[in-house]
Amino acid sequence: MQHRILSEISEKDFDLFRSLVKRKLGISIRQGKRKMLGLKLSRRLQDLDLSSYFDYYRYLLKPEGARELRHLINIVTIDQTGFFRGEKQFEILRERFLPEIVRRKIEKKRIRIWSSGCSTGQEPYSLVMLVYEMDNVDISWDIKILATDANTYSLKIAYLGKYRGDQVAGVPPAYLAKYFRKESKGGEEVFRIKESLKERLIFRRLNLLVSINQLKGPIDLILCRNVMIYFDSATKKKIIDQFYRLLEPKGYLCLGLSESLLGIDDRFALIESAIYRKKTPGSNFGQ
Ligand SMILES: C[S@@+](CC[C@H](N)C(=O)[O-])C[C@H]1O[C@@H](n2cnc3c(N)ncnc32)[C@H](O)[C@@H]1O
């Protein structure tokens, strides 16, 4: 398709989109991103044969524009991720918290983990590999990893579970051999997650601002890493409150390494490296 060149997005239209994205997704787009957003939106406008940013904005507000909102979300979200990203946290999970969860669940043999903001899937797949490697855990265990994101494009990639060689660079070689199938496509190597891992994951579109209250717990471990960085405190508070509701007593919440619950919620005790434990009522020490 021949793309027309659209004029730059005006400050006024940019502000309209910024507040729409903030309302619908929680993300605050920085002022300096005007040109970049305009460029990304212009491609979508042309696909829809609309001639102005304001027409697109109005379309998004109409009832028939509700589905189009997914495209806007796909455009504005940042999908940066990687296998075992934030290595230190995975190390701590493997050494301390996952073994503890396994000990607690030794009778029930049931583990529930939620990767909220899973992007293209590397985070939940990394987790399920770690769980499989735990002593005492075998395939008879009822292990489910809920993997959700607001970006439907990222979710499709996550569901496919197919990655290029450079994308699996962070995977330990032993895991790569055990949990991936190497294929060759057009002279290029691709690594496909094995079904035995994939079947433990449930992928779902979920906007943390919209449908989090429909989820049911209890969950042993929630990851919400590098998702809320552009959210304001009020939005964070609401989401963290839901995490609190969903977590098991003494359940774990893992944020991105640069994130914190300071001033947001004091019902969690910081253990290490942005990993929090839900405090039990009446305890001040996170026990
Ligand atoms: C930078 S990625 C982080 C991925 C992964 N958690 C990690 O740390 O590697 C942020 C993800 O959060 C998702 N996201 C942003 N706002 C969201 C919202 N309101 N609800 C659900 N997901 C959201 C984005 O679509 C994106 O995939």
Specify whether 43 is located in the same domain as 129: no
Mutate to test the pocket of ligand 1, among 77, 126, 206, 228 (most ligand atoms within 8 A of CB): 77
Report CA(112)–ligand 1 centroid distance (Å): 20
pLDDT of residue 64: 87
pLDDT of residue 256: 98
Specify whether 136 is located in the same domain as 231: yes
Specify whether 166 is located in the same domain as 241: yes
Is residue 161 very low, low, confident or very high in pLDDT (cuts 50, 70, 90)?
very high
Residue ranges making up the domain that contains 20: 11-76
Specify whether 117 is located in the same domain as 207: yes
State whether the beta carbon of 25 lies less than 6 angstroms from ligand 1: yes
Average pLDDT over residues 31-40: 94
Report CA(73)–ligand 1 centroid distance (Å): 11
Report CA(251)–ligand 1 centroid distance (Å): 21
Specify whether 61 is located in the same domain as 133: no
Residue nearest to atom 27 of ligand 1 (CA): 119
Could you read off the pLDDT of 127-159 as tens digits, one per residue?
999 999 999 898 899 999 999 999 999 999 999
Give how many domains the chain has, as a whole number. Answer: 2
State whether the beta carbon of 27 lies less than 6 angstroms from ligand 1: yes
Is residue 2 pLDDT above 60, yes or no?
A: no
The verdict on residue 4 lying in a domain is: no
The verdict on residue 167 lying in a domain is: yes
Specify whether 34 is located in the same domain as 174: no
Point out the domain boundary residue: 28, 53, 76.
76
Point out the domain boundary residue: 76, 100, 122.
76
The verdict on residue 192 lying in a domain is: yes
Residue nearest to atom 24 of ligand 1 (CA): 77
Point out the domain boundary residue: 56, 76, 96.
76
CATH of the domain at 64: 1.10.155.10
Q: Return the bridge partners of 148, or none.
A: 116, 204
Mutate to test the pocket of ligand 1, among 227, 239, 240 (most ligand atoms within 8 A of CB): 227
Is residue 188 pLDDT above 50, yes or no?
A: yes
The verdict on residue 5 lying in a domain is: no
Report CA(119)–ligand 1 centroid distance (Å): 6
State whether the beta carbon of 236 lies less than 6 angstroms from ligand 1: no
The verdict on residue 1 lying in a domain is: no
Specify whether 131 is located in the same domain as 273: yes
CATH of the domain at 240: 3.40.50.150
Specify whether 178 is located in the same domain as 50: no
Specify whether 57 is located in the same domain as 174: no
pLDDT of residue 84: 98
Specify whether 44 is located in the same domain as 162: no
Is residue 4 pLDDT above 70, yes or no?
A: no
Specify whether 195 is located in the same domain as 271: yes
Specify whether 51 is located in the same domain as 113: no
The verdict on residue 20 lying in a domain is: yes
Could you read off the pLDDT of 247-277 as tens digits, one per residue?
999 999 999 999 999 999 999 999 999 999 9
